[in-house]
Each structure stands twice: as structure tokens, then as C-alpha cells.
Amino acid sequence: MRDAAADLEALWQRAPAATREFDPQDVARIPELARSYLTHAIAPGTPLASAVRLRMHGAIRLKRWRKFKAVQVITRDGAMIWRASVRMKGTSIRGHDSFVGGQGEMQWRLFGIIPVIRESGADITRSVANRVAAESVWLPSMLADKAVRWRDDGSNVAHASLSIGTYPSELQMTLDRGRLIKLGVSRWGNPDGGAFNEWPFGAYIDQEATFGGYTIPARLRVGWYFDDPARFDAEGKFFEVAIDDATYR
């Protein structure tokens, strides 16, 4: 298995330093609801970061709920590495999910040695690309880019269309006076264990926090079947996470 720690550090180090600061006038022409999100998420004068480094902890459901700790880097051009350690029966599984160079993969090992999961290919790549699009809310400078297309639907939902690699996604962002409270996306996957297809995926945001001028979701419940709250709670929810720190560059 590749050295995920070294790959994560290399991804972080090669992200260029920010060269511009956020000016609310830069987003003056996008729909009002979307504008309320961006001006809530990015303080005026904040450098428009090219990357974020996140430290997090929480629980992930692997048949039963297991505690994890993780470090993640996301870059403004859509690359991502999530490196985690999951506690299982007194031991740990360590590995990573990534989207780098237009390719997605998952690699996990028991004790960091014995292979447990190794998946890649077109389906994994597309699924991870949709995930990175959703996680752009941890790097709001991605969503302030002029390439992102916004529309409002006349309610409290802003729609953001963006592409990660060659894979398009549309985020459905439910807002309360600019604060993100719910995030949905159609994600490629197989939560039922069958063939890969598009499924409703998303997160409820229970808490936000501010780091370096960025106000981001800091406590989330994440899962599949996001169009059905009861099924989400019973079957779909597999990830509960709290952000401990976020560093931008």
C-alpha cells in the first residue's frame, strides 16, 4: 500500500498559497440565496484558499458503529485524501480514500499490514468525485469560483453545479439566513450491495464553526437515502463526524 501519510502531506504542500482575498462584490451577481451562503461562509478579506487540512473524529458504521480519527486534505482543483484509523475489537484498521489525478480509490489494512479493502476503477472514481463535490463546503473558496453555477428554486434551497474531474454534481443546499443546515447530492454508489447507480446522499449539519475566516459545517450526520428521513436514520446513516481543526492555505 502506498504511504498515504506522505501522499497527504505532498498534496498539502503542493497547494499554492492564496493570491486573492474574498470580496463580497465578487459574488454580487449570483442569486441572492447563494450569495447569502458565500458571504456567511467566507469573511470579507479572507484569503481565497487553495486547500484545507482537516482534523476530525467521530463514528462510522461498519456493521456496527466504530470510532475513528482522521486527517483530510481537499484542494481547490478537486483533489482529496482522507486518511483514517478505525477502532475495531481492540485493534485498528488504517487506510485512506482518495481522489488524485482524476482517479478514486479506497485502501484499508488491519494493523496497517493485512489488506482488508482495496477498491478502484470507474465506479469508485465517480462515487468519490461526488463525495468531494459535497465536501467542498469544507473549502468554501471552491464554491466561490466563477466556474460554479448557482440557481435558487424559490424556496430556501440553493443549487450549486460543479465538476470534480470529469464528473458533474449538483449540490442542494438548504439554508437558514446563509447558514447551511442540510446538504444533498445525487451520488454514484451501491448502498444496497447491488449494481452501482445514482442514490440520494447527504448530510444534516448540527453545528458550524469558524476557522481562519471560513465558517464551515463542524458536526454532521451523513448517509444514503437522503430523500427519505426515516430510511436515512434506519439504514442510510453511516458517518457521524466532528471537525476538530481546519487549516487553510
The 3-state DSSP composition of the chain as helix, strand, coil percent (nearest 5) reads 20, 55, 25
- In the chain, how long is the greatest CA-to-CA distance? 54
Full 3-state SS string of 42-59: ECCCCECCCEEEEEEEEE
Q: Which range has the worst mean pLDDT, 104-113, 133-142, 206-215?
A: 104-113
Residue 2: per-residue pLDDT: 61
**pLDDT number for residue 87:** 87
Grid cell for residue 196: 452501482
Tens of pLDDT, residues 190-209: 999 999 999 999 999 999 99
- Which cell numbers hold the place of 102? 482524476
Beta carbons within 10 angstroms of residue 227's beta carbon: 14
CB atoms within 10 A of CB 139: 26
C-alpha cell at 222: 451523513
Residues 6+ apart with CB under 8 A from 198: 186, 187, 188
Domains of the chain: 4-248 (2.50.20.10)
Burial class (CB in 10 A: 0-12, 13-18, 19+), 75: buried
Q: Is the pLDDT of residue 113 over 50?
A: no
Compute φ and ψ for 197, nearest 5 degrees. Answer: -160, 180
> CA–CA separation, 153 vs 179, rounded Å?
17
Q: What is the pLDDT of residues 59-96, one digit of tens each?
A: 999 889 999 999 999 999 999 999 999 988 777 888 99
Beta bridge pairs of residue 240: 59, 221
Dihedral of the alpha carbons of 72, 81, 139, 248, in degrees to the nearest 10: 60
Give the separation between CA 57 and CA 71, rounded to whole angstroms.
Answer: 9
Cell numbers found for residue 23: 470580496
Find the range with the poorest average confidence among 42-51, 66-75, 107-116, 138-147. 107-116
Which whole number is the average pLDDT over 8-27? Answer: 97
Per-residue pLDDT at 110 exceeds 70: no
CA torsion 220-2-133-163 (nearest 10°) is 180
- This prediction has a pTM of 0.95
